Amino acid sequence: MIRATPPAGSARPEAERTWRPGRPVPVLAILRQQRRGGGDPTHRLGVGGRHWRGTRTPEGPATIAISDQCPDGSIEAHAWGPGAHWVLEQLPALLGEHDDWSPFEPRHPLLAEVRRRHPHIRLGRTDNVLEALVPAVIEQKVTGQEAFAGFRRLVRRFGEPAPGPGPEVGLAVPPTAERLATIASWQWLEMHIDPARSRTLVTLARRGDAIARLDREAAGTPAAIDGAELERRLRSLPGIGVWTAAEARQRALGDPDAVSFGDYHVAKDVGWALTGTPFDDAAMAAYLRPWAGQRGRVPFLVAVGGLHRPRRGPRMSPRGHLPTRDRIA
3-state secondary structure (DSSP) of residue 18: strand
**Which strands, in side-by-side order, build the sheet including 60-66?**
2-4, 15-19, 75-80, 60-66, 50-57, 43-47
Q: How many separate domains does the chain show?
A: 3
Of residues 123 and 143, more confidently modeled: 123
Instruction: Residue 303: give the domain boundaries.
Output: 259-310
139 phi, psi to nearest 5 deg: -85, -5
Task: Report d(CA 270, CA 308) in Å as an integer.
Answer: 8
> Do 208 and 287 sit in the same domain of this protein?
no
> Do 133 and 250 sit in the same domain of this protein?
yes
What is the mean predicted confidence (pLDDT) over 188-201? 95
Q: Is the pTM of this model over 0.75?
A: yes
3-state secondary structure (DSSP) of residue 80: strand
Q: Report CA-CA distances (Å) from 275 to 270, 271, 307.
A: 8, 5, 12
Report the pLDDT value the prediction gives residue 8, as an integer from 0 to 100: 40
CB burial readout 91-100, b (16+ within 10 A) else e: bbbbbbbbbe
3-state secondary structure (DSSP) of residue 216: helix
Q: What is the mean pLDDT of the chain?
A: 90
Q: Is residue 328 part of a domain?
A: no
Domain end, chosen from 101, 120, 137, is at: 101
Domain end, chosen from 64, 85, 101, is at: 101
Q: Which region among 139-143, 154-158, 197-201, 241-245 has the lowest average model confidence (pLDDT)?
A: 139-143
